[in-house]
Amino acid sequence: MRPDKRLDRRALLQGIGTTVALPLLDAMTPAFASATPSPNRMAFLYVPNGIMMDQWFPGGESGVTELPAVLPRVSAALAPFRKDVLFIGGLTQNGGRALGDGPGDHGRAGANYLTCMHPKKTNGRDLRVGISVDQVAAQRLQGKTRLASLELGCEEGVQGGSCDNGYSCAYSNSISWRTPSAPNPAEIRPRAVFERLFGAADEDPDPVRRARRARYEKSILDVVTGDAKRLSENLGGADRQKLDEYLSSIRDVEKRIQAAEQNQQAVKRPGMPAPGRSIPAEFGEHARIMIDLLTLAFQTDATRVATLLLALEQSPRAYPEIGIPEAHHGLTHHQGDKDKIAKVIEINCYHMKQFAYLVQKWKSTPDGDGSLLDHAMVTYGSGLSDGNAHDHADLPLVLAGRGCGTVRPGRYVRHPRETPMANLFVAMLDRMGVPVQTLGDSSGQLGYLSGV
């Protein structure tokens, strides 16, 4: 691009009825000037029902150690990325415990995970827990991006009624809370997320507008082809390649969403309601489409804060694609049954492979002077450690990314048992430029993120 011209960071490709945001290009920085620093991003991936902990942590009972080349079975998918991840042990969510409320560990685990507060036991409308860490960041960063935050999921969850011993389903099925009484339900439909990111119109009874929407559904990129071509002609070689790769990734997500819709139509049976629009039948494909959409959202700076609920607490989901026809939650109450334990481990490994896919994708996605993984912090974990015992102590937690140079990965850090997980979230908020004095039951900032 000519050295006297500069492309605005929020430039859009435009077509009739739609726009497409652009990733960070060299042309967005003035010639002969230092690059604009990439923003930090923060995301949280959640898996339910605990993890087989003897197959999770890669080190000993205390201190800080470098990650070994060989990781335990459940963590093994991260071995190729051991220099990019930080395992953290000893963290506890005290608010997930009964504290006089009796049974309901799954409801408390989900509601407590990002709020670090003990939820009020109710199955009515008088919900009460706390504001989650993602929403603390979203509220403070509001206006810097088009979307304050993005809440994604891979399993449908209702928000009313009782799901766990008198605890509302809203507690079990939501990890993001914009106020102490208002959850942010996760969007599980890839098409709906795609449209939110790229501005498609809602369903409309008008036939002309429906026809326009049908044209859109063939490919949003067809609408902006002319603008993209004109822009490309004025870009340098490196930027043209970035633009081409970015548009190709959008096209790929579109094709996979369309394929999922066609597959759902193919399996529709008389007398049975059709599954929700755009939802792949196989968990792995669904999870990876949602991860790709999350990547596009961060890549285009549509938002800097997101959550992804891979499955719900007490999830009845089975995983026939990996040879497991039984429901996940039931298997976790194994009571020492070796066959059930083996199946839980397989499910844990399957979930972890989705996180490894995210790490690999972000590591290979250019962003400013590095990769998207360099400029992000993303955690993966559960609100329970041992699902059979409903234990809320020593939770499984791994953090990937370098947080714009504020996190040093490649290690296993073991904190004293009963260290509040909220301390980690306070430290992450600080690295997002959103300092807080306290969050939930925090007692300070978690140490060792940046090094010993």
pLDDT higher at 97 or 223: 97
- Please report the pLDDT score of residue 206 as a whole number: 63
Mean pLDDT of the chain: 86
**For the segment 347-371, what is each residue's pLDDT rounded down to a tens digit?**
999 999 999 999 999 999 999 999 9
Which stretch of 75-84, 185-194, 198-207 has the lowest confidence by average pLDDT? Answer: 198-207
- 378 pLDDT tier (thresholds 50, 70, 90): very high
| pLDDT per residue as tens digits for the range 153-180 | 999 887 777 888 999 999 999 999 999 9
Residue 32: predicted pLDDT: 43
Report pLDDT for 17: 54
Q: Residue 265 pLDDT > 50, yes or no?
A: no
322-352 per-position pLDDT tens digit: 999 999 999 999 999 999 999 999 999 999 9
pLDDT band at 239 (very low <50, low <70, confident <90, very high): confident
pLDDT range class, residue 225, cuts 50, 70, 90: low
- Does residue 301 carry a pLDDT above 90? yes
- Residue 52, pLDDT > 60, answer yes
Given this model, what pLDDT does residue 213 score? 57
Q: Is residue 34 scored above 60 in pLDDT?
A: no
Q: Per-residue confidence at 244, pLDDT binned at 50, 70, 90?
A: confident
How would you write the chain as a 3-class SS string?
CCCCCCCCCCCEEEECCEEEECCCCHHHCCCCCCCCCCCCEEEEEECCCCCCHHHCCCCCCCEEEECCCCCCCCCHHHHHHCCCEEEEEEEECHHHCCCCCCCCHHHHHHHHHHHCCCCCCCCCCCCCCCCCHHHHHHHHHCCCCCCCCEEEECCCCCCCCEEECCEEHHHHCCCCEEECCEECCCECCHHHHHHHHHCCCCCCCCHHHHHHHHHHHHCHHHHCHHHHHHHHHCCCHHHHHHHHHHHHHHHHHHHHHHHHHHHHHHCCCCCCCCCCCCCCCCHHHHHHHHHHHHHHHHHCCCCCEEEEECCCCCCCCCEHHHCECCCHHHHHCCCCCHHHHHHHHHHHHHHHHHHHHHHHHHHCCEECCEECHHHEEEEEECCCCCCCCCCCCCCCEEEECCCCCCCCCCEEEEEEEEEEHHHHHHHHHHHCCCCCCCCCCCCCCCCCCCCC
- CB of 429 within 8 A of CB of 136? yes
The structural domains of the chain, with segments of one domain joined by +, span: 1-36+189-278, 42-187+306-452
Task: Kindly tell me if the per-residue pLDDT of 187 is higher than 90.
Answer: yes
What's the whole-number mean pLDDT along residues 265-273? Answer: 38
For the domain bounded by 42-187+306-452, which CATH number is listed? 3.40.720
For residue 429, is pLDDT > 60?
A: yes
